[in-house]
Amino acid sequence: MAMSRIRGAFAVPKKGETFELRAGLVSQYAYERKESIQKTIMAMTLGKDVSALFPDVLKNIATNDLEQKKLVYLYLMNYAKSHPDLCILAVNTFVQDSEDPNPLIRALAIRTMGCIRVDKMVDYMEEPLRKTLRDESPYVRKTAAICVAKLFDLNPALCLENGFLEMLQEMIGDPNPMVVANSVTALSEIYHAAPETQALKVTTNTLRKLLMALNECTEWGRVTILTTLAEYKTSEVNESEHICERVAPQFQHANPSVVLAAVKVVFLHMRNVNPELAKTYLKKMAPPLVTLVSSAPEVQYVALRNIDLLLQKQPDILNKELRVFFCKYNDPPYVKFQKLEIMVRIANDRNVDQLLAELKEYALEVDMDFVRRAVKAIGQVAIKIESASEKCVNTLLDLINTKVNYVVQEAIVVIKDIFRKYPGYEGIIPTLCQCIDELDEPNARAALIWIVGQYAEKISNAGDILAGFVEGFNEEFSQTQLQILTAVVKLFLKRPEKAQGLVQKVLQAATAENDNPDVRDRAYVYWRLLSNTSDPEATKNIVLSDKPPIVTTIHSLPPALLDQLLTELSTLASVYHKPPEQFVGQGRFGADAVQRAAIAEQIENARESPLAAAAAAAAVTGGAAAPQAQSNVENLLDIDFDGTAPASAQKEPGDGMSGLEGLAGTPVRVESPAVGAPAGSNNLDDLLGVFGDGGATSSASGSGAPNGGGAGADLMNGFAGLDLSGNSMASPPAGGSQPKKTNEDIMSLF
Amino acid sequence: MLSGILIFNQKGENLIFRAFRSDCRPRLADIFRIQVISNPQVRSPILTLGSTTFSHVKHENIYLVAVTKSNANAALVFEFLYRLVVLGKSYFGKLDEEAVKNNFVLIYELLDEILDYGYPQNTETDTLKMYITTEGVKSAIANSATDSSRITMQATGALSWRRADVKYRKNEAFVDVIEDVNLLMSATGTVLRADVNGQIIMRAYLSGTPECKFGLNDRLLLDSGDSSTSSSTPGNRDGTMKATRAAAGSVTLEDCQFHQCVKLGRFDADRIISFVPPDGEFELMRYRATENVNLPFKVHPIVREVGTTKVEYSVAIKANYSSKLFATNVVIRIPTPLNTAKTTERTSQGRAKYEPEHNNIVWKIARFSGGSEFVLTAEATLTSMTHQKAWSRPPLSLSFSLLMFTSSGLLVRYLKVFEKSNYSSVKWVRYMTRAGSYEIRF
């Protein structure tokens, strides 16, 4: 369907059609000519190439019919490039028109001339432009002002030589507000295209003129002036105060883009005024921001993205407005998603009950994507507000009980994060383990396995659960594999008797049968740690150490980027939450800027919680694995250096090198004797060493139980260590009895 | 700024292609068609590919698309597209595929006028209508030099919204206060959200350059200002005004937005709404109120899913306003599951009908007097499905309009007109409350 349509549009017009049009264009009757021009324009719109008619259309340029003139001009603008020589024929008409007594025609002529992007035309533009810039009619002047920007784009040198820039700068003082606005527009365009021209320099004097024009010009002109004011760096506090005072009334404008532009100006200049005054402005800007949320969905979306930015800088401004962000049933998904994020950001002790009830409602809807985000939001609220964590966990349990597959999966992922902040909710683990068979997404599986590993000593059938996963180890996604590996090792360290065979099996599968470097590397690290016979406590200290609780799972932008984006309020950059270099990337941005942007993005990605990244790339295994591995590197660093990781490693966590350095440092620091020797030798030896060591340990421990050899003693040691750590970790009494029981089991075994 | 404006129909045919900069190439139309129109996955109104950004708005059966290249002002782009819709509506009555096809020359002309090099210019409908018209004959006026210089003065002037030489024999002003009340009620009957979006539409038929002052029972103004202003209004002879003045009390306006004719500086300083109105109809202001919202209707739905084959409804609705008033066109939409086979309804007033295409039972009550209460009982029989998917239970929604009632309690206290010639004028005020998004979960 689509293809044939495209082909139809591009097909060469039938001979007859062009012929007919041409005949009409040269007809002796005016109405026929006009009709043919209309048809030609229609064909042009449909994508047909009617450039062959250029000379014939051009013949109709000299007419008194304004409408026809406009059509011919429209055609000229489109096809001038294909017939640069013939354009010259139109010059005479343009020059004549630019002196027409009718201002509409003068303006039309100068407006069109600027759009005919042919070098020869430029030479003839100089005189008419100079005249029209000084025209008595403001309508012509405002059109000519924009034309200077057009000329600059075509031929900057000519524009500068003729002093058009200076003329434009003078026009900022024009008595007509619209001329002022357009002059500022043109100057700002030129300035951004070529900063060296210093085209738009706001001084105290121009500032006064801009503020005067602000209250009188059209809404679009106001946006231009406000944008310029936002870019202006004030030198003194008084000036900032004055700007804020004059701009704040614009909050009440009916046009949302004016409101956002005004918010931007006040928000940026507010930084210079005293905090008390700034506070009153923050208060003043809240109601207009809320009003933006009831505009058309697309405008709303832009507004919501901007509100998100403002909230990251000033978290309190919309504290009391939670209800406004409740999702309507008919809101488009992009609006709903953004509202969810904002609601989580403004959640606090007082409104959390209301929010939770609402989120639960969303979690029962049918749009899968929305439901998942709602569930995720519940988790974010739990981690953000400690006093509400219990309610959140209960809500999540309710949701798990609905047995809706994707709700359960998302809830498990979320609960894993809750455990990372509040380890005390282990009472709910049995409920979680019940849904083990329903999980088919790598994320959810990984989350549950992590929970099992983390609480291995409290889950009586942890071994059985993990055995099931080890069975199909090679069919799992790599992020799940990593978690299986870690969970089995944790289980082994906590309850060696249950997991000996398992740990063997999983290490074998992860090293010998797996190609993923992350999985292999982690398996080797564990293997080596486990083969460390001289100091078994060390392994436990490393793998089972208490990790610092996570602070938040709400995604926030890095402060530097946030500050940059606040200067870009209401632009595309503020919608994407990315610096403009990243998506504009053409022309005026140099290679340096692009590179800087790339680095910034890497840092941003690294900061993002691995889960968020994983969720985004759930389908792509490789993509999901990378951030996961990164976080592991960070975790390792945390453990080894007690949080005092070297600055280099923290600055660029995405960089493989720094991670490796940290790892290489590990054995030396903990002085592990088993690895002491191969540390200096080459890689092959190293690997062989690991294999040899691993093999020895496994065979020894395999036979350890019956004959009670050296390795058996080793195991005993290991167990004792676990017993201790188990006691120290088990805070609630319920789980406390468990290790003792297994202790007896083992004793009887011996 | 904007590199081009494109309009497509639903099939993806390009109806209008207007490039304002050389970087808006014709093949961009194909890219948009393939990436957005033929792609059901699109969930954002903004799409950036390489350095090109497409921002689109869907209206009736057409797509309006703005192409931008740099880091454009997204809020402005969308607002402009919506302004284009407003302009189209006021020129052609309705902006759809047919209107665009029939008037494409005029649309090109309009685009040429309201955008220059991609920067929006004057988009005031009334001004534009003076020199861009649907009939070719009229545009001849613009050809005469004297008229057009007057037009251009207005198009750029400080009062770009008003001609200077307006004359009426009878000077009148009509003020319509229209409120959209939004409600979101939870299944347990608690009000989750209730607010009012109001607009004040004015039709001014006043001669010369009148300075108007407009007063509401705005709490901030009443608290700070003196109350003598309302008593000394000689020009005020409107009966309805007196009636409303009796109703005391004031309203807290959360936020107001004004037509560009209103002097924002004055409002900011002392909350006085002062302006020179455009000629004819315009939206003077919009406001938002969230406190003490009077909900005109209370709805009490009971919905029971009986097994997997039946849903039972019992919906009671009560009018919560004075018995002197009555609401018209009350429509209650009651969602039914997607696999509804047939329904039976009984109502104590009005008519109920099942609309399978919207999965709704629609209950219409033409006239609903204050204080009365009506009940609908219904039953939906469901077909059995192999895949039993949970019913999302969308909220029940209401629409209605109710004259001489404002949910926020807002009243017009005065409208004063000052003009050089000192003529007397007649003012009329009308109030109406409509349902915005009036939703009740069950």
What is the structure's pLDDT at B264?
86
Of B319, B332, B407, the residue nearest B370 (C-alpha): B319
Say whether B297-384+392-403 and B4-129 share the same fold.
no
Nearest-CA distance B115 → chain A (Å) = 10
Enumerate residues 250 to 289 of chain B having a beta carbon within 8 A of any beta carbon in chain A.
Answer: 254-260, 262-265, 267-268, 283, 285-286, 288
Residue B407: band (very low, low, confident or very high) from pLDDT cuts 50, 70, 90:
very high
The CATH superfamily assigned to B297-384+392-403 is: Mu homology domain, subdomain B (2.60.40.1170)
CA-nearest of A734, A644, A224, A186 to A457 is A734
pLDDT in tens, B268-296: 888 889 998 888 888 999 999 988 899 99
**Which pLDDT band, with edges at 50, 70 and 90, does A699 fall under?**
very low
Report the alpha-carbon distance of residue B197 to residue A291 in Å, rounded.
9
Nearest CA distance, A22 vs chain B (angstrom) = 19
pLDDT greater than 50 at residue B410: yes
* Three-state SS at B437: strand
CB A346 within 8 A of CB A322: yes
DSSP state of B369: E
pLDDT at A515: 86
Contacts of B110 (CB under 8 A, 6+ apart): B87, B91, B128, B132
Nearest-CB residue to A334 (from B44, B131, B439): B44
Q: Is A631 on the interface with B (CB under 8 A)?
A: no
The pLDDT, as a whole number, for residue A602 is: 54
**Nearest-CA distance B26 → chain A (Å):** 7
Q: If pLDDT is split at 50, 70 and 90, which confidence band does B183 have?
A: very high
Find the range with the poorest average confidence among A167-171, A445-449, A633-637, B228-232: A633-637
H runs (alpha helix) in A46-102: 54-58, 66-79, 84-97
Which residue's entry shows tokens 């002036």? A225
Write the DSSP assignment of A517-533 as a string of letters. Answer: HHHHHHHHHHHHHHT--
Q: What is the pLDDT of residues B350-398, one digit of tens each?
A: 999 999 988 899 999 999 999 999 999 999 998 887 666 678 788 999 9
The verdict on B295 touching A (C-beta cutoff 8 Å) is: no
- Do the bridges between strand B172-185 and strand B426-440 make them parallel or antiparallel, or are there none, so unpaired? parallel
Res. A603 pLDDT band, cuts 50 70 90: low
B117 touches chain A (CB under 8 A): yes
pLDDT digits (tens, 9 = 90+) for A151-160: 999 889 988 8
Probe site for chain A from B63, B79, B387 (most A CB atoms < 10 A): B79
Nearest CB to B105 within list A71, A215, A330: A71
The larger pLDDT score, comparing residue B231 to residue A18, is at: A18
Asked if A572's CB is within 8 angstroms of B45's CB, the reply is no
Residues of chain B neighbouring A149 (CB-CB closer than 8 A)? 117
Q: Which residue of B has its CA nearest to A220?
A: B120
Nearest CA in chain B to A218: B122
Predicted confidence at residue A215, as pLDDT, reads 84
Cα–chain-centroid distance for residue A193?
27
Which of the two residues, A562 and A457, has the higher pLDDT score? A562
Give just the sign of the alpha carbon dihedral A444, A447, A453, A459: negative
What mean pLDDT is reported for chain B?
84
Q: How far is A431 from chain B (nearest CA, A)?
A: 22
For residue A185, give both structure tokens: 């527009």
Question: Does B441 touch chain A if contact means CB atoms closer than 8 Å?
Answer: yes
Which fold would CATH assign to domain B4-129? Beta-Lactamase (3.30.450)
pLDDT in tens, A634-677: 333 333 333 333 333 333 333 333 333 333 333 333 333 333 33
**What's the maximum distance between 2 C-alpha atoms anywhere in chain A?**
116
Lowest mean pLDDT among A419-433, A603-617, A729-743, B240-254: A729-743
Helix (H, G, I), strand (E, B) or coil at B322: coil
Nearest CB to B390 within list A66, A107, A404 = A404
pLDDT (tens digit per residue) in B98-108:
999 888 888 98
Percent of residues, chain A, with pLDDT higher than 70: 76
- Whether residue A41 is predicted with pLDDT greater than 80 in this model: the reply is yes
pLDDT greater than 70 at residue A62: yes
Handedness of CA B21, B22, B27, B31 (dihedral sign): negative
Count other Cβ atoms within 10 Å, centred on residue A353: 11
Bridging pattern class, strands B351-355 and B340-347: unpaired
User: Is the CB of A7 inside 8 Å of chain B's CB atoms?
Assistant: no
Q: What is the DSSP string of B222-290?
A: HHHS-GGGGT--TT---HHHHHHHHS---B--SEEEE-TTB-HHHHHHH--EEE-PPSEEEEEEEEEE-
Residue B129: its H or E element: helix B125-131
Residue type, B435: A
pLDDT of residue A746: 40
Name which residue leads in pLDDT, B198 or A627.
B198
| Spatial distance between the Cα atoms of A49 and A83, rounded to a whole number of angstroms | 13
Contact A151, A158 (CB under 8 A): yes
| Helices and strands: H and E segment counts in chain B | 9, 23
- Residue where the block lists tokens 């709700």: A407
Q: Which residues of B touch A9 (CB under 8 A)?
A: 14
Query: Token pair for residue A414?
Result: 């979320």
Contacts of A215 (CB under 8 A, 6+ apart): A249, B263, B264, B265
Amino acid at B77: V
Q: Kindly state whether A368 is in contact with chain B, defined as any CB-CB distance less than 8 angstroms.
A: no
- Homologous superfamily, domain B173-223+247-293+405-440: Mu homology domain, subdomain B (2.60.40.1170)
According to the 3-state scheme, what is the secondary structure of A269-298?
Answer: HHHHCCHHHHHHHHHHHHHHHHHHCCCCHH
pLDDT in tens, A269-283: 998 899 999 999 999
A216 touches chain B (CB under 8 A): yes
Greatest Cα-to-Cα distance within chain B, rounded to the nearest angstrom: 79
Alpha carbon of A586: minimum distance to chain B alpha carbons (Å): 7
**Residues B134, B289: Cα–Cα separation, whole Å:** 40
B121 and chain A in contact, CB less than 8 A: yes
Whether B104 and A41 lie within 8 Å, measured CB to CB: yes
Burial of A196 (0-12, 13-18, 19+ CB in 10 A): exposed
Residue B147 burial by Cβ neighbours in a 10 Å radius (0-12, 13-18, 19+): middle
DSSP state of B390: P
- Predicted confidence band of residue B54 (pLDDT cuts 50, 70, 90): very high
Give the pLDDT of residue B270: 81
Cβ–Cβ < 8 Å for B215, B229: yes
DSSP-derived secondary structure letter, B158: T
**Calpha distance A391→A411 (Å, rounded):** 14
Spatial neighbors of A715 by CB under 8 A, at least 6 apart, are A496, A701, A704
Tell me chain A's radius of gyration from C-alpha atoms: 35
Q: How many CB atoms lie within 10 A of CB A720?
A: 13
Running DSSP on this structure, what letter comes out for residue A534? S
Closest CA to A329 of B315, B61, B355, B185: B185
Reference A268, options A305, A227, A301, A299; nearest CA is A227
Query: Between chains, do A104 and B142 touch, taking CB under 8 Å as contact?
Result: yes
Cα–Cα distance list, A525 to A675, A694, A722 (Å) = 11, 11, 20
Taking contacts as CB-CB distances below 8 angstroms, the residues of chain A near B124 are 218
The answer to whether residues A210 and A188 touch, using CB atoms and an 8 Å cutoff, is: no
Lowest mean pLDDT among A628-637, B5-14, B404-413: A628-637
Q: Which residue ranges make up each domain of chain B?
A: 4-129, 173-223+247-293+405-440, 297-384+392-403
| pLDDT for the residue A692 | 39
Q: Is the pTM of this model over 0.80?
A: no
For B398, the enclosing helix (H) or strand (E) is: strand B396-403
Interface of B with A in 197-216 (CB under 8 A): 197
Residue B245 near residue B233, CB atoms below 8 Å: no
Can you tell me the ipTM of this complex?
A: 0.83
What DSSP state is assigned to residue A571? B
Q: How is residue B323 written in tokens?
A: 């018995």
Residues 101-120 of A with CB under 8 A from B: 101-104, 107, 111, 114-115, 117
User: Is pLDDT above 50 for A402?
Assistant: yes
| Pick from A146, A254, A257: CB nearest B116 | A146
Mutation choice for B interface testing from A183, A219, A576 by most B CBs within 10 A:
A219
A223/B76 Cβ within 8 A: yes
| B157·A176 Cβ contact <8 A | yes
Q: Strands, E, within A196-343: which ranges? A: none
CA distance B8 to chain A (A): 11
Contact B117 A74 (CB under 8 A): no
Q: Name the B residues in 394-413 with CB < 8 Å from any A CB.
A: 394-395
Looking at residue A390, what is its pLDDT? Answer: 92
Triad B275, B276, B282: Cα angle to 5°: 90
Instruction: Please report the pLDDT score of residue A268 as a whole number.
Output: 93
Q: How confident is the model at residue B307 (pLDDT cuts 50, 70, 90)?
A: confident
Say which amino acid occupies A630: Q
Q: Is the dihedral of CA A41, A44, A48, A52 positive or negative?
A: positive
At A644 the pLDDT is 36
The reported pLDDT for the residue numbered B223 is: 58
Q: State whether the Cα torsion A199-A202-A204-A210 is positive or negative.
A: positive
Q: Are B442 and B301 in contact (CB under 8 A)?
A: yes
Contact B337, B311 (CB under 8 A): yes
Q: What distance in Å separates the CA atoms of residue A663 and residue A670, rounded to the nearest whole number?
A: 12
Suggest the residue from A298, A336, A351 to mutate for an interface test with chain B (most B CBs closer than 10 A): A298
Size of interface A-B (CB pairs under 8 A): 270
Buried b (16+ CB within 10 A) or exposed e, B355-387: eeeebbbebbbeebebeeebebbbbbebeeeee
Lowest-pLDDT choice from A374-378, A511-515, A542-546, B126-130: B126-130
A257 and B389 within 8 Å at the Cβ level: the answer is no
Most trustworthy range by pLDDT among A427-436, A526-535, A628-637, B68-77: B68-77
For residue A227, pLDDT beyond 90? yes
Segment B409-420 mean pLDDT: 90
Which of A343, A345, A365, A369 lies closest to A354, judged by CA? A343
| Both tokens assigned to A114 | 């600027």
A 143-182 residues with CB < 8 A to B = 143, 146-147, 149-150, 176-179, 182
Which is nearest to A640 in space by CA: A621, A667, A622?
Answer: A667
User: Which segment of A280-294, A629-643, B142-156, B291-305 scores lowest on mean pLDDT?
Assistant: A629-643
Q: What is the pLDDT of residue B390?
A: 72
Q: Which of A246, A358, A580 sits opposite B192 (nearest CB)?
A: A358
Which residue does chain B place closest to A176, by CA atoms?
Answer: B157
User: Which residue, B430, B409, B407, B405, is CA-closest to B218?
Assistant: B409
Q: A212 in contact with B at a CB cutoff of 8 Å?
A: no
Among B27, B44, B73, B182, which would you mutate to test the A interface (most chain A Cβ atoms within 10 Å of its Cβ)? Answer: B73
pLDDT of residue A50: 84
Above 80 in pLDDT, residue A142? yes
Average pLDDT over residues A179-208: 89
The reported pLDDT for the residue numbered A597 is 52
- State whether residue A285 sits within 8 Å of chain B by CB: no
Report DSSP state, residue A682: -
Average pLDDT, chain A: 77
Lookup result for tokens 């295409």: B357
